[in-house]
Chains A and B, each alone.
Chain A
Amino acid sequence: MHKPLILALGLLAAAPAFSAGIEIDIEVPRIDVADYRRPYVAVWLERPDNSVAANLAVWYDVKMRNDEGTKWLKDMRQWWRRSGRELTVPIDGVTSATRQPGKHSLSFTAGQAPLGTLAPGEYRLQIEASREHGGRELLSVPISWPPAAAGRSEVRGQHELGTVSVRLVP
């Protein structure tokens, strides 16, 4: 009777010890237009010199015939410039389908793809969204790695992105 409970407690206690990481909540805003299409979104970590440390997520239309959904990847133009144009999609664990309006939670663990092992230093978490018949928006959250303590920061988009909150797990 007690055994499973003890085991579960043990797991909970052990979990933070090996799972430093980044948790990101991205709000895709509900936009009330007739020709609404879900936005393309890219999430990546950039060094101060603009080089890309990790591509974390790319949401695009993966279901179109003949890979035609890739045609608009360039519209996430900072991402395209910084690394998108050098990549071949799909990328396992990074690319996926576009998401509907609402809050989407992403979790990345240090040492595991796609976050991998980050050298200590300053980074920018970049979140870029581009929508057909709509606009484009880029949000940026500064990050120090490794996180000394659990930290949380929040930015709010004005157009194509809602609230983006970032939690660092030490």
Chain B
Amino acid sequence: MNLRHRFVLSALAFAAAAPLAQAHESWLIPSSTVLSSAGYITVDAAVSNDLFHFTYRPMRVQDNLFITAPDGSRIEPENMVQGQLRTVFDAKLPVAGTYRVGLFNASLMASWKEGSETKRWRGPRAELERNVPAGAAELVVREGVSRIETFATVGNPSALKPSGQGLEMVPVTHPNDLYDGEAATLAFVIDGKPAAGVEVNVMAGGTRYRDQLEKQKLVTDAQGRITYTWPAPGLYYLNAIVSGATGGEQNIERRLAYTATLEVLPQ
């Protein structure tokens, strides 16, 4: 009974630490990824197993949405509506270059024993030491870092820089320069360092119209790279999850997730 209770608690803590746990796929759909000139795009955000159909829940984006301009500045979303099945917002892209639209979540949760009492704390990683006593009994720390993003380019594509937090994709082939029948190379980093041996799943949209998911499993090489030849034009869902203990002084169980929606153009 006690064991089961603890299991549930830890599962809850885990879920709380990773609010976008992959029970379902969470994704964004940009209305355009290539624009000739400055203008608007509209973006759908939803949680659904059907790629890319709105059949389950809207994605809650109000707290952690970012739209980053080519110069790194932030753009505010406009006309945001959360419906029953999807969230929609517009983004004005005023200058040439590549924009990143996405959601970033980072949360950390610690639990430990003081006598018979279970203590819990939740907050940013930098404040962990200050809030959790050193050498706390039965200390369990869980961190969830997730990123869900997509890209749009006005005019000429510009470089994309990683933030250095969690699991990220660093384009070798630009994400707005993907074409049917051509190979693209994408690199993955964890906290800015190459992530080798990460399983990356790639799936084409339109799963409703075929029998099998046709999920491609790729594994990053020593440099953290995958190379994939796009079999057809369309929207693709790319997802990778890394979980495990960090080791070291504070043994933190981390769950790092990365999701991107990529558009592959016809030749």
Contact = CB atoms under 8 A, between A and B. Distances in A.
B155 A85 contact: yes
A78 interface: yes
Contacts, number: 29
Interface string A68-86: 0011111001101100111
A132 interface: no
A70 B267 contact: no
A44 B39 CA distance: 27
A71 to B, nearest CB: 5
Interface stretch (B30-38, B135-143, B188-196): B30-38
B266 A77 contact: yes
Contacts of B39: 71
B177 interface: yes
Nearest to A71: B36
A86 B97 CA distance: 11
A154 interface: no
Interface in B156-195: 156-157, 177, 179
Contacts of B179: 81
A80 B35 CA distance: 10
A122 interface: no
The bracket for how many chain B residues form the interface is 10 to 19
Contact of B265 (A71, A73, A77): A77
Interface in B28-65: 34-37, 39
A67 B36 CA distance: 11
B36 A81 contact: no
A74 B35 contact: yes
A86 to B, nearest CB: 5
Contacts of B153: 85
Contacts of B267: 78
Would you call the interface of chain A mostly helix, strand, loop, or mixed? helix
B59 to A, nearest CB: 28
A78 B182 CA distance: 14
A85 B37 contact: no
B117 to A, nearest CB: 62
A105 to B, nearest CB: 28
Contacts of B155: 85-86
B167 to A, nearest CB: 29
A85 B156 contact: yes
B37 A70 contact: yes
**Interface core residue of B36, B37, B155, B266 (most chain A CB under 10 Å):** B36
A72 B179 CA distance: 19
Interface in B184-218: none
Nearest to B35: A74
A78 B153 CA distance: 16
A26 B220 CA distance: 48
B36 A73 contact: yes
A74 B36 CA distance: 5
A167 to B, nearest CB: 28
15 contacts: A67-B37, A70-B37, A71-B36, A71-B39, A74-B34, A77-B34, A77-B265, A78-B267, A81-B177, A81-B265, A85-B36, A85-B155, A85-B156, A85-B157, A86-B155
Given A72-B36, A81-B179, 10 more contacts: A67-B37, A71-B37, A71-B39, A74-B35, A77-B265, A78-B267, A85-B36, A85-B157, A86-B155, A86-B156
Interface of B: 34-37, 39, 153, 155-157, 177, 179, 265-267
